[in-house]
Structure 1
Amino acid sequence: MKMKIDPAFFAPSVAFFFRWWVRSIRFEIDGYDDFTALVNQKKPLMLALWHNELFSLIGVGVRKKLPLVTMASDSKDGQIITDILERLDYEVARGSSTRGGLKAMLGIARVMREKGKIGVITMDGPKGPRHKIKPGILAIAQKAGAPIIPMRAYPSNPFVFKKSWDRFELPKPFYSCKICLGEPFIVTDHKLDQEYLRSEALRLENIMEQLGK
């Protein structure tokens, strides 16, 4: 007889362990003062991340106690992620690029406008291609009237999962991690047809590639 265990049972332990892990990391943040000045204006704002740097960047958000909203899939795995993120003080809109994406995008835009939270999107998630922007973040930013802040993580000597599609990087406890926050990226006010989506995505990809180098 199989015993059914609610995945939410593990969320408190995972969240506790995550907090311990990121507290041990020595974060060095470039561009944080300019970012804080934008946050203090209480206007909609978004953070743009790559999926492989997610652990470090979620970690610095938790360490700095930023008011963040992100999305998670409507799947069972998404429910587990949601339970953990909510215990880390994130607000979560359900849906993804493959399931319920429009609902989640509208949800993030609404929370940003109504609650003044910062939207967080892994631009190439959940399945890649690696470091190629999907249109979701551009559509949310335009709808919410929010600048996009490019954000990169450079952990020293991380564990790298070379067989994963994104080459996921796991920062080691007690090591340093450089975080880079770029200048605000303003999405065009033109209708985001295929031509504009391609050009805006390429423009942001180039900024992300150069950030911190």
Structure 2
Amino acid sequence: MKLFLVTKVVPFIMQLFVRFIYISSKKVFHHPKIDSKEPFIVAFWHGELLMQPFNYKRIRPKGKVSAMISEHKDGEAITRTVEYLGIDSIRGSSTRGGAKALIGAIKELKAGYDIAITPDGPKGPRHSVADGIVAISQKTNARILIFNCRPTKYWQFNSWDKFIVPKPFGKLEFFIQEPLDISSLEQKEAKELIQDKMLLNAMK
């Protein structure tokens, strides 16, 4: 019964609520022009992930993206929820199933599809950048698209990631930066650059 609630009922209700937030809000998009055929690594902070499927679908209405989601049990509800919103998943993270997720992400990019990653997930520290995003980018020569979402009205959880849930009937500002190329950088330099860029429009 619990498994049914986690995998079916809760995700269905969650995606309905997320759609209602989006539909009821005023939207402002700050998006660059991108190559429609170039596969990208989409990066956003764990605490801002809730509305990012809409950010992605706005810039790539027919695009295919797979999100790297933790194999921990708490990742199951998120996986099912984002599937309702048109996002596939690659299970695994920096703390569990990492090698499998890395291989899966590289395969997706080489097949011409996008992947999405939260560099500070699944357990933080908040607004940190783990090694995975650099490894994937440099092994595939895929550039990085940095996503942010800033709501004017929101609830903020007292969790490690300060998870943001926008309130209905507010304004959502969606940001996507120009594609970031880290192919020529050392790992430490690349991680610092990604972090700096991701913090430009981040929620505090």
TM-score, length-scaled by structure 2: 0.86
Structure 1 runs (4+) greater than 4 angstroms displaced? none
Q: Is the contact between residue 55 and residue 147 of structure 2 (CA under 8 Å) also seen in structure 1?
A: no
**Given residue 72 of structure 1, which amino acid in structure 2 is its aligned partner?**
I
How far apart in 2 are the matches of 1:56 and 1:9? 20
Q: Per the alignment, in what secondary structure is the counterpart of residue 149 of structure 2?
A: strand
- Go from structure 1 to structure 2 and tell me whether the alpha carbon gap of 1:199 and 1:5 turns closer, same or farther (over 3 Å shift): closer
User: Please, which of 88, 93, 105 is the counterpart of residue 90 of structure 2?
Assistant: 93
Partner of 2:21: 21
Contact 2:18 2:50 in 1 (8 A): no
> For structure 2, which runs of at least 5 residues remain unmatched after alignment?
none
Please tell me whether the aligned partners of residues 150 and 201 of structure 2 are also in contact (alpha carbons under 8 angstroms).
no
Asked if 1:151 corresponds to 2:172, the answer is no
Alignment of 1:150-189 (within 5 A): 150-161=146-157, 163-189=158-184
| Identity among equivalent pairs (%) | 33
Q: Could you list the per-position Cα deviations for residues 155-206 of structure 1 after superposition, in whole angstroms to 9, with x for gaps in the alignment?
A: 1122122x2112222111121111121121112246xxxxx22211111212
CA distance in 1, matches of 2:120, 2:70: 14
1:130 Cα shift?
A: 1.3
Q: Distance in 1 between matches of 2:19 and 2:29?
A: 18
AA in 1 matched with 2:50: F
- Map 1:1-213 onto structure 2 (within 5 A): 4-6=2-4, 7-10=6-9, 11-32=11-32, 34=33, 37-38=34-35, 40=36, 42-62=37-57, 65=61, 66-114=63-111, 116-161=112-157, 163-189=158-184, 196-211=186-201
1:139/1:81 Cα in 2 relative to 1: closer, same or farther (>3 Å)?
A: same
Deviation, 1:146, is 0.7
Report the CA distance between 1:30 and its aligned residue.
0.8
Q: Is the 8 A contact 1:51 1:122 kept in 2?
A: yes
RMSD over aligned CA atoms reads 2.3
Equivalent AA in structure 1 for residue 46 of structure 2: H
Contact 2:151 2:172 in 1 (8 A): yes
Larger Rg: 1
Question: Does the Cα contact within 8 Å between 1:23 and 1:63 map onto a contact in 2?
Answer: no
1:153 is paired with a residue of what secondary structure? strand
Q: Give me the whole-angstrom Cα distance separating, in 2, the residues matched to 1:104 and 1:117.
A: 15
Aligned residues: 199
CA deviations on 1:98-155 (whole Å, 9 max, x unpaired) are: 11012112112212221x3221111111111111111111111122221001222211
CA contact (8 A) 1:22 1:60 kept: no
For 1:129, give the aligned amino acid. P
Asked if structure 2 preserves the Cα contact closer than 8 Å seen for 1:154 and 1:177, the reply is yes
